[in-house]
């Protein structure tokens, strides 16, 4: 390094908030309401004269922020200090690059499921050719066109003929990235702001009733009768009579169970990435009061796995934090090792085969959780208590998603309601 280069380097270091980036001087400052510092290139090389100019510019920027110019007239603020900047009207960052930047900054704080959703949303945008385009090109009208293309027609290929709820989820996930883009000054305003709602499907492709298909008592008994794998049969029974999620069941350890008090406590969940993580919400961490059918499963499992020595489980937390805990898993896979995936069975087409043998129309194994809610509601269970058992903060989710009672399991419902009202049908 030459003498003059060293002088320039020293001069840059003396100015707090000034750095050299890709050969140009770059300023760093904090905007009101932003959790991170904003970095903006001045576009001119590092010389002693330019460093002095940059120092004056930075002082003016901080003064205008303190005086409220940014809050009161944001566009004027940017034009005043960066008149040739493309930050407002001509962002050069692509949609894909924006996703990558968002993930790089937030990955340690995101759950595996959110990361998967971000990947799907990016694939959706890429399918329609927007991933490689500049972020500024994805206007509100372009996004509306994209969403309408996605829901139009019967589903024949990837990202076409989708359910409205699915496209809304893609949009909401993309909205997280766009919010980040606004904060980073990649774009002035998110195109999702004031975005019109998609017209809800009125065909039989997307009614809520098709998303929830609980098993009847007869169907559940028929299913259990054909499952030939003993430990899977017990898992199905426990899922149906406890309301556990698959990942919660496979993360379950004997340290979480009190057979004397007839309870189990949900502390962890096994993710699709094979990681043990705490529940996403405070309400997800809960103690379940066991029905006799669920208790019976755990009594049987106690004889099979409770005697195995504890193993060291790694509990993953946000921001790359973790904890090592000694635990004894209730359900074990081959060679008595802990499961690595939350799915009920990973054998190809095995679940579908059992359903066919039981003469039951296809539905995903996750419907066992719906079955628990529906069976208890049919029996007259209070929604608020059921919400706590299933890990919801209130009963709104129960009424909207799980709250479907099964008429086949209560054929005399109207007669029973009449009796409670002091009424009775006259014999014909």
Q: What is the CATH number of the domain that holds 352?
A: 1.10.443.10
How far, in Å, CA of 48 to CA of 184, rounded? Answer: 29
Q: Looking at residue 163, which CATH number applies to its domain?
A: 1.10.150
Q: What is the pLDDT of residue 396?
A: 73
pLDDT, tens digit (0-9, with 9 covering 90-100), for 67-84: 888 888 776 777 677 755
What tokens does 281 get?
A: 């919400």
127 shares its domain with 243: no
Residues 291 and 236 in one domain: yes
Evaluate whether 233 touches 330 at the Cβ level (below 8 Å): no
- pLDDT for residue 94: 86
Query: What pLDDT is stored for residue 276 in this prediction?
Result: 94
Domain termination residue (choose one: 29, 50, 81): 81
Q: Do residues 231 and 275 both lie within one domain? A: yes
Q: Is residue 415 part of a domain?
A: no
What's the predicted TM-score (pTM) here? 0.64
Q: Is 376 inside any structural domain?
A: yes
Residue 135 and residue 184 in one domain: yes
Domain end position, chosen among 59, 81, 103: 81
The pLDDT tens digits for 165-204 are 889 999 999 999 999 888 877 888 888 887 877 887 765 5
Same domain membership, residue 28 and residue 50: yes
Long-range contacts of 164-168 (CB under 8 A, 24+ apart): 164/198, 164/199, 164/200, 164/201, 164/206, 165/206, 167/198, 168/198
Give me the pLDDT at residue 406, please. 58
Question: Is 419 within the bounds of a domain?
Answer: no
Domain assignment present for residue 201? The answer is: yes
In the prediction, which pLDDT does 20 show? Answer: 86
| Structural domain contains residue 345 | yes
Q: What is the pLDDT of residue 86?
A: 45
Does residue 164 sit in the same domain as residue 284? no
Same-domain check for residues 53 and 110: no
Q: Which element (helix H / strand E) includes 322?
A: strand 322-327
> Both 245 and 384 in a single domain?
yes
Q: Residues 361, 237: one domain?
A: yes
Domain count, the chain: 3
Evaluate whether residue 420 is within a structural domain.
no
162 plus 194 within the same structural domain: yes
Residue 421 lies in a domain: no
Instruction: Calculate helix-pair angle for 95-106, 112-127, nearest 10 degrees.
Output: 170
Same domain, 174 and 105: yes
Please indicate, yes or no, whether residues 331 and 191 belong to a single structural domain of this protein. Answer: no
CA distances 367 to 75, 284, 387, 397, 398, Å, are 51, 18, 17, 15, 14
Does residue 183 lie in a domain region?
yes
Q: In terms of Cα–Cα distance, which of 256, 211, 252 is closest to 235? A: 252
Grouping H, G, I as helix, E, B as strand and the rest as coil, residue 27 is strand
Strands (E), 184-321: 257-258, 263-266, 269-270, 276-277, 286-289, 311-316
Q: Name the residue range of residue 77's domain.
A: 3-81
Question: 3-state DSSP call for residue 122?
Answer: helix
| End residue of a domain, out of 157, 186, 206 | 206
- For the chain (length 428 residues), average pLDDT per consecutive 10? 67 90 85 83 81 89 88 75 53 82 82 90 94 87 89 79 89 92 82 82 50 87 94 95 95 96 94 90 90 94 95 89 94 91 87 95 91 85 86 75 62 67 63
């Amino acid at each position: 390094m030459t003498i003059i280069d060293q002088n320039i380097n020293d001069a840059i270091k003396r100015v707090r908030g000034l750095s050299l980036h890709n050969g140009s001087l770059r300023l760093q400052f904090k905007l009101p309401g932003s959790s991170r510092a904003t970095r903006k290139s001045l576009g001119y090389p590092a010389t002693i004269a330019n460093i002095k100019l940059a120092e004056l510019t930075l002082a003016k920027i901080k003064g205008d922020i303190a005086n409220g110019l940014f809050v009161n007239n944001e566009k004027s603020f940017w034009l005043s200090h960066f008149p040739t900047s493309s930050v407002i009207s001509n962002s050069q960052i692509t949609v894909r690059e924006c996703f990558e930047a968002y993930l790089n900054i937030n990955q340690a704080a995101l759950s595996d499921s959110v990361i998967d959703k971000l990947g799907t949303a990016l694939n959706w945008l890429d399918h329609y050719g927007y991933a490689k385009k500049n972020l500024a090109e994805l206007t509100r009208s372009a996004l509306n066109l994209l969403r309408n293309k996605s829901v139009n027609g019967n589903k024949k290929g990837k990202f076409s003929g989708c359910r409205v709820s699915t496209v809304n989820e893609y949009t909401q996930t993309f909205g997280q990235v766009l919010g980040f883009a606004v904060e980073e000054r990649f774009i002035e305003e998110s195109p999702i702001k004031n975005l019109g709602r998609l017209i809800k499907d009125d065909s039989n492709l997307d009614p809520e009733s098709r998303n929830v298909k609980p098993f009847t008592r007869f169907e559940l008994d028929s299913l259990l009768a054909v499952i030939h794998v003993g430990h899977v049969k017990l898992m199905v029974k426990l899922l149906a009579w406890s309301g556990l999620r698959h990942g919660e069941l496979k993360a379950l350890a004997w340290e979480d169970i009190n057979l004397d008090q007839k309870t189990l406590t949900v502390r962890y969940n096994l993710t699709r990435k094979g990681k043990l993580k705490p529940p996403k919400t405070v309400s997800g961490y809960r103690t379940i009061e066991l029905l006799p059918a669920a208790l019976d499963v755990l009594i049987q499992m106690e004889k099979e796995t409770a005697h195995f020595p504890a193993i060291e489980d790694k509990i993953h937390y946000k921001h790359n934090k973790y904890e090592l805990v000694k635990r004894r898993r209730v359900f074990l896979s081959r060679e008595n090792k802990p499961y690595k995936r939350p799915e009920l069975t990973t054998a190809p087409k095995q679940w579908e085969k059992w359903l066919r043998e039981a003469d039951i129309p296809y539905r995903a194994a996750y419907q066992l959780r719906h079955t628990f809610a529906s069976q208890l509601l049919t029996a007259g269970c209070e929604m608020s208590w059921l919400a706590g058992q299933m890990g919801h903060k209130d009963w709104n989710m129960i009424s909207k998603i799980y709250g479907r009672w099964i008429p086949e399991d209560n054929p005399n419902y109207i007669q029973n309601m009449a009796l409670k009202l002091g009424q009775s049908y006259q014999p014909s």
